Structure 1
Amino acid sequence: MKLTVVGGGSTYTPELIDGFARLRETLPIEELVLMDPATDRLELVGGLAERIFSRQGHTGRILTTTDLDKAVDGADAVLLQLRVGGQAARRQDETWPLECGCVGQETTGAGGLAKALRTVPVVLDIAERIRRTNPDAWIIDFTNPVGIVTRALLQAGHRAVGLCNVAIGFQRKFAALLGVTPTDVHLDHVGLNHLTWETGVRIGGPEGEDILPGLLAEHGDTVAADLRLPRPVIDRLGVVPSYYLRYYYAHDEVVRELRTKPSRAAEVAEMERRLLELYADPALDEKPELLAKRGGAYYSEAAVDLAAALLGGSGSAFQVVNTYNGGTLPFLPDDAVIEVQAAVGPRGPAPLPVTPVDPLYAGLMANVTAYEDLALDAALRGGRERVFRALLAHPLIGQYAYAETLTDQLIAHNREHLAWA
């Protein structure tokens, strides 16, 4: 089995490598290719990857390359983890929206749209080259904004599935609170990427008894603290929202916070500098503790399970993925990309039935889906008016004066990445 990671020079990658090494029986990789145009980072990450494999007794071969066509040739699956524009572009995404009093964040609101406009054309170009070289390869997208990027891939006819680590993170947290193993916990997870709710927690599988009410009654303070939302809000909702919902449920509070502290991009850039120094140590042969603060927790385990299931191995039968709605949520278009539990196999994901969704969540999902339609149109066809329409449709913006100003700022800050600008 050959697996390729595009963006393999990312400081995330040792998290993936550790999972591939530990879970080699689930995903028996014979050849792992790390592809990245940044040769300096690729060399450091590739060296650490080889040492991790060696320490854990993995016999697979690790190759590094800057040649995309060579990297994906013959690959059974290709993982995409890109950041077009790097941390510098992310820093911009997190700052200029704040000038209008809007959330500055890399996947949500105006910053999320900027990232989509930079990213979608690049990902589609990569996917076309994969299809020319190896049309049967599965594309696993971890590149944000995952929902929009995955929809772009699916609409272009690619064999693609979107992956996010939010659900697997909740699975681990709930398992720890309940004193069970993570594989015992099944989530009723519903929504769009970075706009999801855990509406049920079951032990043993999708047919198990829903124990979420009891979990919240006993551990609600812990859950609320993790989400940085008041306990009474969680009690009134009766579900567990993704931490990204704080941008909606406490928007003005978040904006005040963001205006008074360094951007997350600045923190991550410093963390990446320190991680690369660690990776350069020839004695390091395991992922460092600092990597846990970088983000992407449990990403490797989710990726291994998903790739194994898609390639006919022993991955988990049910997984939370991003895929076409196809009638699963009747209030959304069939070709919307949703994030739900699905049965995953070599033919791809098949979403499990979802119980009727409370209008409190369904309304926001429908609104953001409409924004994502417009965002993808802007990413594919460009133009100031399409950018404006997407911003005006976003529930975190929604005022024409803000949308006008943010449109100008988005274009000004991203001109070098927008072919039409």
Structure 2
Amino acid sequence: MTYIQEILETVKRKNPGELEFHQAVQEVLESLEPVIEKHPEYKKAKILERIVEPERAITFRVAWMDDKGEVQVNRGYRVQFNSAIGPYKGGLRFHPSVNFGVLKFLAFEQIFKNSLTTLPIGGGKGGSDFDPKGKSDAEIMRFCQSFMTELSKYIGPDTDVPAGDIGVGAREIGYLFGQYKRLKNEYTGVLTGKGLKWGGSLIRPEATGYGCVYFAQEMLATRYETFEGKICVVSGSGNVAQYTVEKLNELGAKVVTLSDSNGYIYDPEGIGPEKLEFVKELKNVRRGRISEYAEKYGVGYFEGQKPWNVKCDCAFPSATQNELGSEDAQALVNNGCMLVSEGANMPTVPEGVDIFLNAKILYGPGKAANAGGVATSALEMSQNSMRLSWTREEVDEKLKQIMKSIHKSAYEASKEYGHPGNYVLGANIAGFKKVADAMIEQGLI
């Protein structure tokens, strides 16, 4: 058994049942074999053994009262995985599927994603099994206040700076920030994704989707291609998907699909700016289903299906983890797809990733392609610290340059280790080396 295999077996033994976490650790560690061979100091310092263990993992009870006066109880979490290069940074997710295994996977991925941004932020993630769907604003406020009452003991602008994620948007961030301010009697940048009127950053809502497209644009440039005239499929219909479509439209592509958990729509004419505005109103204001798009515009709706069988040039999985299976990956390749850029976290199963890599298509893994969101969160932190507010153009330009830098780091690392264009290997290596070197320089932490 190799050194890497021994660590993987230990991770599985110590963390039984946490399949998403096992998957994330395996993907990273297997990429690092050539690095460990070239840098024996990492093995000697037990960097891998240390990096797969969270520095701190917190679980707490969240008791709150619903509108009927009934007491409800949920579970809250924060996984503070690694702070070698800066304070913990990563979103809060409110969804019934949230558990320690899912959050550990997300926090582990966040270490390397944050490292790639070139900004001084460590990796963390948190949330609750609370489901905001169907809850009133008053119920969500009471839940958020109870959640923050406990979480506030473990976070701070120089310790841990959470953001939003699935189920945590501007409304939830507002309630969470208000309670933190009330408890601590201080106005600090302890959360990102805040409202523009009270410390938020322009471009933050758009950042993950825009960044994913910017990264894809850099990948296309290595083959002297652009988005002009490209047919694109996008999954999801939330924030990331919406702004992926917006940026693709600007760059001359035609997006023909969007989806939600019930099915997907196929619009061969393309989801142009006017139709996209309808989607934003549908999903962000009315919280409706994507099937309403099909009814309004008279296009195809495919219930219970995903959009990966639609013929396309480029695909942007932007919904959730493991949404794109091996058969889906093969269908994309068979239909001539030349690029996959991940807007969601780990949306492609490992077998699907292998299919993309073996087919030599341009494949941008989430930790690189969707790092624009956390990068802009870090820019919000900077603006809060300086008590400044940058213009939309300034933030967008900084985001574009960060995505270019991430692409360059991943591509150069893939070349250095003998697999040019393998962004999985390149992103993992580039993200890991920065953190590993910091851990060695800081001693036994």
Higher relative contact order, structure no. (Cα contacts within 8 Å, ≥ 6 residues apart): 1
Q: Same fold (TM over 0.5)?
A: no
What is the TM-score when the length of structure 1 is the normalising length?
0.26
State the TM-score, normalized to the length of structure 2: 0.25
